[in-house]
Amino acid sequence: MRDAALIAAAQKVEHYEIASYGTLATLAEQLGYRKAAKLLKETLEEEKATDIKLTDLALNNVNKKAENKA
């Protein structure tokens, strides 16, 4: 259960970061800061990839172990 809770907490952070980088990338693009927008979009994609990995870890490993212990 503890590992499942840790993954949930990590995903909360990732979702906050995804929202933040998405907003900043859009704003940078609208203001004409192309380099900044590009870097922010790259970071946004990294955060999305991390979220997908955490989801996969939870679904295929940690949550199943927690369920078996409950």
- How far is the C-alpha of 68 from the C-alpha of 44, rounded, in Å? 35
Per-residue confidence in pLDDT tens, the chain, 70 aa: 889 999 999 999 999 999 999 999 999 999 999 999 999 999 999 999 999 999 999 999 887 776 677 6
Topology annotation, domain 2-69? Ferritin (1.20.1260)
Query: Whole-prediction pTM value?
Result: 0.85
**pLDDT at residue 30, rounded to an integer:** 99
Q: How many helices (H) and strands (E) does the chain have?
A: 3, 0
The one-letter amino acid code at 63 reads N
Helix, strand, coil share of the chain (percent; to 5):
95, 0, 5
